[in-house]
Chain A
């Protein structure tokens, strides 16, 4: 994307409520995040991190060079980046599923390359991605918190800041949304 001025403009327009700017921003972030993520997958990047926030931070640093780049409202960036991450990761999950199991099998097990398995490991990235759309119709804030935490890799405090709630409230939303998703996915 390369042009910080453009991103800054998009961000401020998105903040002012322009849906068009927001979409364009997410598209811009998508291509940047996707490039970084693929570099990591091919292990061509000099870094080797697993941290999703590192991907987001990497994008952040590219977009906002240090000198005088005085944009403080990280929350807006993180929100946009989480949405972009969600679609990047869904794409990656689809591509991996296709590559590993041939056409026709979209689902990819969460055990693949897994370092720290969840206590309930039966669900996959794509399934969560799809279930989120349904959840968003029911409660957009629940869907949002999952997007921020699971796809954006944000910490509880960061997600709370983006949502404009306390960390206790965030924790409550996160637990409820997860309970709901767990039931959906195990159905």
Chain B
């Protein structure tokens, strides 16, 4: 093709595209256009319209195949998990034995190749990880956490799972334990149930093999490695699964469905029964294997004796080559196996529509009758379509709820890896109609800071704060503007964000200088500077009166509030990399690009000493007295210098990369250093000997500061987070999220007192540090046994095991601000808040006390104490709020509820209850609800008659009414909380997911959510209408034993404590 001709084609092509569609024919058909050119342009237009994904996959992805995730070594840290060793290795990669810092536990850690590059893949992973984290079943290895890990600019996924001790593959277990035929079948039942649970949550396993069904030391089978569900790239042929156990449709690259896992479970059963796999295809090429699998295998009974025909037919139906011939669900397979074990007729022979109709009716217990009537009244197709309509309407609602749950779980998972931006996107995508407490709570967690100010259009690279927190000095650059021109600035900023003074600079590519410019852009003056494009460094005197700005020319500008106070001096020959004032403000230090650090008198600006370093000094810090100066170097060394003599006190090779930040604790005991090697390290300041290393940041750590009050260390990183550390142990205590870009500086305002951080997103944020997502966290030295909010929700009463009663300010963490009533006369069993804010408590086992409510600042005062009788176990405020209802265990398996008048202390009545009561609640209308040690609940409308229902085989540890008294939540020792209808105590929903005893359950006001606490250390939020778990709050660190909800529902308080009662904590979670 000649170039002229090409040009003509291209010209016509573009003209046609730029024209409205109706004019295209006219352009192409114009006179003088040769037919061959017209045809080419038409061809191009067609291609343009249908271009699709052509060349959308970048070249490098075609050339570099996905490689395996990196190999980890002992000591490596992945998001708070420290690798201890290797648990096992297989086709799916290496599984590591790892230890989690917080909470402390052993986990199985696996790295996976990221499925798809880019933002879509990332979000996909986070969502799928959230799907997996939602699976809670005793026979599914729990996914503790999952996330993405960046290394050298690349990202891969990691997943931390429950470690199953003493595990063997299911087939080996059955063989070695010499299990009977029926025991083998029973072993598979929980696996089928677990698969069904996963399917109901939208997750297909796809690789059910003996290696992925482990049997724990206690005999529980556990499905592991749902990981395949996301690591395979969407079901490419041969990529997934193990050939012998893979279904034929999987091998030919078809989509995986529930029936794929039914096949896997069937193949497993086949092998458990007769010791061989259905088709021995491992030696065959893939296409031959597929062909072999299209044929039905011999029944297991033909390979091993003692297998009845019914069992053969169950197995063969499960592994039928055509998915539509198999059991539709894993639950259906399990049901049929149970029928076989019970000696009932099995359904495996009955496929077809009648079978499905039967299953449908069975599943929809409540609906079965109505639908059955409709089916009888109509005939054939009509009845079927009625069923479909019912199922479709339900499916739509379910789909929306699932989308909501996925968004919330995704946001929660994203927050666990401090990805605020992704969490925000997920929350925005949640259907607005369904948003509730958990949505508001997570939204509130997007930013942990107290307040923020923003300098629009600025990136802040260096920041300093005055001692009182009122003044800030910042410097940085203004991105964007003109190509090739670097614009920088330094500013003195008030607390409210107003700029008091600002100086702006520009570096033009043509000049070897930087120029100061006026607000209207006029050039004011210039400095010669080799590194003209570098950002100025800043320092602020502790009194906030003088800011120092170090320029790329080596000059330092000193400015006060008025231009008449301004001064300038040449501190270094080249760029001033860092400036720092001594805490008393009498001296300051500078670091120059040429490799020296210099000490200056702040009043006279006379140089006191100059210290030569081998390499560039990047960071500076004084000790509190100003007698020592610490320098952090680009080569990773840290040096301590005597400020009086200029002599080096000690030098240490501190980091593998540039030391970006240094800080000395107020008491002079510790030094903290921050580095590009992503660690924060802690040292003895006296001699530079190492103490601990803090891992956790996923990128360059830019700055570090000590809290002069608590001694905590806070680091600022390019990973957009700040982390708080315990300097003595190197243990991370909190992660602070809120910045949307790299955090570049951090400083404490010692007199404020709070923390200030600076970011490239142009914001300055102030913080009190507390664990992420928790409005209030009180660490205690024992277990809080009961909690109660004051009616206004501002005070939280905490009953301690030793009998102390504490009143905490519910709005802030202040460990020493609590008023504590001294322990007297034994422990407290329970507390409840009365209408006027008075607090009722069970002291010991026989006494009811009434305390004056803790209005802010008032000391707790006991008003009266009444001996009621022994064996008091629980209490609740009565409907009116003037009376206390107390539950007392009676002899011989019953109990009674006593009413005590709070004002007089006199008994106002009692009612005997026939069940062994453990827990008590009173509805707004005065109905009494008792949960029993025998797993039953009893309800009385006050008339003396009780309605009873057996709810569980295990004790009911907590009961609660909703605000209307229409529904009941019952928390059980069996790990489940149940929602019952108050009218007839029928079960409306089961809240399944806790891995240990549920100790308490409460409805939130409005009744759309129930909150539960468990010995499994978690707090969960549920939708009581369908039993969906909508949120799992971050691990409490101890078994969670107590629960209270404020009257307006904005606060949930939870108390947790160690089994030995030596440690505990109270947390208040908020949803603004």
Contact = CB atoms under 8 A, between A and B. Distances in A.
B743 to A, nearest CB: 12
B55 A150 contact: yes
B944 interface: no
A58 B156 contact: no
Task: Tell me which of B59, B461, B480, B488 has the highest count of chain A C-beta atoms within 10 A of its own C-beta.
Answer: B59
B534 A68 contact: yes
B118 interface: yes
A68 B55 contact: no
Nearest to B115: A115
Given A67-B577, A68-B577, A179 B676 contact: no
Interface stretch (B146-154, B903-911, B1010-1018): B146-154
A165 interface: no
Contacts of A63: none
Interface in B29-67: 40, 43-45, 47-48, 51-67
Interface in A150-186: 150-153, 155, 172, 175-176, 178-183
Contacts of A85: 59-60
Contacts of B10: 138-139, 180
A67 B54 contact: no
Contacts of B66: 48, 50, 115
B60 A137 contact: no
A47 B64 CA distance: 12
A68 B64 contact: no
B507 to A, nearest CB: 9
Contacts of A41: 63-64
Given A66-B660, A113-B65, A178 B17 contact: no
Contact of A113 (B53, B63, B152): B63
A49 to B, nearest CB: 3
Nearest to B43: A183
B154 A48 contact: yes
Task: Tell me which of B10, B151, B152 has the highest count of chain A C-beta atoms within 10 A of its own C-beta.
Answer: B152
A106 interface: no
Nearest to B56: A118
A67 B533 CA distance: 13
B799 interface: no
Contacts of A175: 48, 51
Contacts of B461: 68, 70
Contacts of B47: 178-179, 182-183
Nearest to B575: A68
Interface residues of A, number: 73
Given A15-B484, A71-B533, A113-B64, A52 B58 contact: yes
Given A15-B484, A47-B70, A149-B55, A52 B60 contact: yes
Contacts of A16: 484, 509-510
Contact of B113 (A37, A48, A52): A48
Contact of A118 (B54, B64, B116): B54
A112 B40 CA distance: 31
Q: Report the interface size class on chain B.
A: 35 or more
A61 B510 CA distance: 25
A84 interface: no
Interface in A1-57: 5, 8, 12-13, 15-16, 37, 40-41, 43, 45-52, 54-55, 57
B55 A45 contact: no
B559 interface: no
Nearest to B155: A49
B398 to A, nearest CB: 31
A86 B59 CA distance: 9
A57 B54 contact: no
A130 interface: no
B346 to A, nearest CB: 44
Contact of A65 (B3, B48, B61, B658): B658
Contacts of A76: 483-484
Contacts of B151: 46-47
Contacts of B488: 70
A115 B117 CA distance: 11
Contacts of A66: 660, 676, 700, 702, 718
B502 interface: no
A110 interface: yes
B178 interface: no
B114 interface: yes
A112 B63 CA distance: 7
Given A46-B151, A68-B534, A138-B3, A120 B54 contact: yes
Interface in A101-130: 110, 112-120, 123-125, 128
Task: Tell me which of A48, A96, A123 has the highest count of chain B C-beta atoms within 10 A of its own C-beta.
Answer: A48
Interface string B676-694: 1000000000000000000
Task: Tell me which of B118, B477, B702 has the highest count of chain A C-beta atoms within 10 A of its own C-beta.
Answer: B118
Contact of A176 (B14, B477, B510): B14
A44 to B, nearest CB: 9
A50 B61 contact: yes
A112 B54 contact: no
Task: Tell me which of B117, B480, B486, B510 has the highest count of chain A C-beta atoms within 10 A of its own C-beta.
Answer: B117
Contact of A51 (B13, B56, B154): B154
Contacts of A43: 67-68
Interface in B819-836: none
Interface string A72-112: 11011000000001100100110010000000000000101
B571 to A, nearest CB: 16
Contact of B64 (A37, A65, A86): A37
A158 B54 CA distance: 19
30 contacts: A8-B533, A37-B64, A40-B67, A41-B63, A43-B68, A45-B152, A47-B154, A48-B67, A48-B68, A48-B156, A51-B154, A58-B152, A68-B534, A68-B535, A70-B533, A72-B459, A72-B480, A85-B60, A113-B63, A115-B61, A118-B53, A119-B54, A123-B55, A125-B63, A138-B6, A138-B7, A150-B58, A153-B59, A176-B14, A180-B44
Which 5 interchain pairs have the tightest Cβ spacing? A47-B154, A49-B154, A113-B65, A153-B58, A179-B48
Interface of B: 3, 6-7, 10, 13-14, 17, 40, 43-45, 47-48, 51-70, 113-114, 116-118, 151-156, 233, 459, 461, 477, 479-480, 483-484, 486, 488, 509-510, 531, 533-535, 537, 575, 577, 618, 634, 658, 660, 676, 700, 702, 718
Interface of A: 5, 8, 12-13, 15-16, 37, 40-41, 43, 45-52, 54-55, 57-58, 61, 65-73, 75-76, 85-86, 89, 92-93, 96, 110, 112-120, 123-125, 128, 137-139, 146, 149-153, 155, 172, 175-176, 178-183
Given A51-B154, A68-B461, A112-B62, 12 more contacts: A12-B533, A47-B151, A48-B69, A49-B114, A50-B60, A65-B676, A114-B57, A117-B57, A149-B58, A151-B60, A179-B13, A182-B47
